[in-house]
Structure 1
Amino acid sequence: MNKHKLKALILTVGAIFMAFLMVNVTSQAARMDMVDVSNNNGYMSTAEYTSMRNEFGVKALTVKISEGTTFKDGYAASNIANGQAAGLYVNGYHFAHYKTRAQAIAEADFAGQAAKAAGLPVGAVLATDVESAEEQGILSQATNDRNNAAFMREIQKFGYRADIYTSGSWANNKMTIKGKTGWVAGYPYVMSGQKWYTNNNAWQWSGSARFRISYGGFDVSQLYTDYYTAGQKSTVKPTDKDAVKANNQEANKNTSKPSTSAKWVKESKIYTLKTAVKLRIGASTSSSVITTLPA
């Protein structure tokens, strides 16, 4: 790419980025339909889950069950019980380390047994969380597809429904995520009313959402299908719809707002790229790719 084309591309991308910043983030706020928790969030009470439901519109909870073939989440049982008591539909997930078909089956057996012991109800989703750069990241798409399929077939033997969680940059790149399946993570740098991954079951749009009576940040997702609620409509509804709307809009603002200390700097330089570089709309590697700058 010659210098003039590269400069024009940078100016165009800058204009696109500025346009994103100028959009009203409160319009069509992404919903907090589902929250996922693990031992990193500590003990979560029924009162906390009830607040999430009543004030933020959370419908479903997905609890970390296990990791690899040695780790069982110590908070899984209490999260499942307390989430159910709050009227949420409860699912589980397993953090994958497998690199072979045999390892995938072994991890599924470990996860299924751990889920049963923790009280995850039959019929719930038990998703495989596939995002390890050191493990699945070095494998081909075909190998990851084979391993994921083996895990999902095995987990169904325990009475659970299967799905795959991964990042948007890995979906249909490092592994196949078919339409009407998959729970895909992608965090917009600026929320602007857009919806991502609408052809999948769920979109995890933030990893730092805040809830009124809970400490720390949480992963939240918008659901596009009823897969994570098993086609059921909860008999327990939010008690304050106005609060749900306001809190969802505030979560969108807090997730997407750039640092107030950031300053725009006008400068002109020439760079030589030794390798191809993907230009993304945000700072995260899961952000959508605008274009690839060749070496």
Structure 2
Amino acid sequence: MTNREVVVDLASFQSELTVQDYKNIGATKAIVKISENTNYVNPYIRSLIDRSAGGGVNGFAFYHFGRFYNDSAAVAEANYFIANAKRYANVQPGTLLILDAEIKGMPTSSVIAFLQTLRNAGYHTGFYTYKFLLPQFNLEEIHKYADFFWLAAYPLGGQPGPRVPDFNYFPSANYVDCWQHTDNLLGYKVDGSITLTDNAIKLFNPSEVKAEEPKPTPSPNQNNVKYDSWTDDLGVKWYKEDGTFTLSESINLRWGAKTDSDLIATLNPGDVVKYDAFSKHDGYVWLRQVRDNGQFGYLASGECDSNGKRTSAWGKFE
């Protein structure tokens, strides 16, 4: 018997969900929105991954909201999706990347062009649409290019949906791996789905995909006063401080303030980092670098003892 797992799909609308919210929801898989058209990237990709992982999600896939009506535009959007999935989610070959096809008039040939572009780049491919839109597509043809089919069908009205749906309402269709059965799972304003096949579960766990440790998120009340402090939703205390740090040795810049967080780059001696906050935890003094699109980078600037006293500095502060 196929193991049923709860899946949530996460976009900017879910940016306020906390680690505890995800624990309450009880999902084990998540599909995170990366992009839309060729001019939008979800600014909350990293925090959505980090918080949901902290709340119990152990497998990820990623999706793009398609806006194309011809094959060339489909290829352009697929390449935009791939580039930003690499940049913000560190996707590796074998990751499941999904097309969200929910606009009227999208040609089947263009869907296939999009999926072929993903597959040619080494990714597993997925196709998502609503039951009422399914007749506009040639599912038999699309299925040849899609490793995963995710179908949405649920009652309108926004009423809280259960964690496990009533299968008497399952939308009959071929090849369905995952069923989105509510747009308000347990009242948390998040789309809820359930896996239907072993194939679905396998694709959420490609061996190269790794979710980093949850990273700090700033308090909405922080200001520019030096040493204004806040505690993030993981219990780590941060202090506001604007400054620059010039490295005296090579240091890894990471997506999170943990030594096993995903790597952004290795910085070299002489590189200058502008930072806006610091934290002392896990034996290091961490700095937070502000990046594009609301993202942050983190680096250890030296060591500290168990009382938070700095014992070394791997560069010069200004």
The TM-score, its normalising length taken from structure 1, stands at 0.56
Report SS of the residue matched to 2:124: coil
Task: Establish whether residue 221 from structure 1 lines up as the match of residue 193 from structure 2.
Answer: yes
Report SS of the residue matched to 2:184: strand
Contact kept, 8 Å, 2:41 with 2:84, in 1: the verdict is yes
User: How many Å separate the matches in 2 of 1:224 and 1:129?
Assistant: 19
User: How many Å separate the matches in 1 of 2:74 and 2:119?
Assistant: 13
The equivalent of 2:177 in structure 1 is 201
The equivalent of 1:154 in structure 2 is 117
The equivalent of 1:99 in structure 2 is 69
Contact kept, 8 Å, 1:125 with 1:228, in 2: the verdict is no
Contact kept, 8 Å, 1:91 with 1:228, in 2: the verdict is no
User: How many Å separate the matches in 2 of 1:88 and 1:232?
Assistant: 9
User: How many Å separate the matches in 1 of 2:185 and 2:124?
Assistant: 27
RMSD: 2.7
The equivalent of 1:49 in structure 2 is 22
Report SS of the residue matched to 1:208: coil
Offset of 1:198 from its aligned partner? 6.2
User: How many Å separate the matches in 2 of 1:222 and 1:206?
Assistant: 10
Contact kept, 8 Å, 2:9 with 2:33, in 1: the verdict is yes
Contact kept, 8 Å, 2:195 with 2:201, in 1: the verdict is no
Offset of 1:163 from its aligned partner? 1.2
The equivalent of 2:299 in structure 1 is none
User: How many Å separate the matches in 2 of 1:35 and 1:174?
Assistant: 26
C-alpha offsets along residues 182-205 of structure 1, whole Å, 9 cap, x if unaligned? 211111479754133464111111
Distance 1:99 1:42, change over 3 A: same
The equivalent of 2:102 in structure 1 is 131
Aligned-pair identity (%): 23
User: How many Å separate the matches in 2 of 1:226 and 1:159?
Assistant: 21
The equivalent of 2:291 in structure 1 is none
The equivalent of 2:28 in structure 1 is 59
Contact kept, 8 Å, 1:83 with 1:89, in 2: the verdict is no
Question: Equivalent residues in 2 for 1:6-21 (5 A)?
Answer: none
The equivalent of 2:133 in structure 1 is 170
The equivalent of 1:70 in structure 2 is 39
Higher helix share: 1
Report SS of the residue matched to 1:165: strand
Report SS of the residue matched to 1:36: strand
Larger RCO (alpha carbons 8 Å, 6+ apart):
1
Paired residue type of 2:32: V
Report SS of the residue matched to 1:62: strand
User: How many Å separate the matches in 1 of 2:13 and 2:32?
Assistant: 11
Paired residue type of 2:80: F
Report SS of the residue matched to 1:220: strand
Distance 1:78 1:228, change over 3 A: farther
Paired residue type of 1:149: I
Task: Establish whether residue 37 from structure 1 lines up as the match of residue 10 from structure 2.
Answer: yes
Task: Establish whether residue 186 from structure 1 lines up as the match of residue 161 from structure 2.
Answer: no
Paired residue type of 1:71: Y
Task: Establish whether residue 121 from structure 1 lines up as the match of residue 91 from structure 2.
Answer: yes
The equivalent of 1:210 in structure 2 is 186
Contact kept, 8 Å, 2:60 with 2:205, in 1: the verdict is no
C-alpha offsets along residues 88-114 of structure 1, whole Å, 9 cap, x if unaligned? 211111000011100000000000011
Higher strand share: 2
Unmatched 5+ stretches in structure 1: 1-30, 235-295
Offset of 1:228 from its aligned partner? 3.6
Offset of 1:209 from its aligned partner? 1.5
Report SS of the residue matched to 1:162: strand
Paired residue type of 1:49: Y
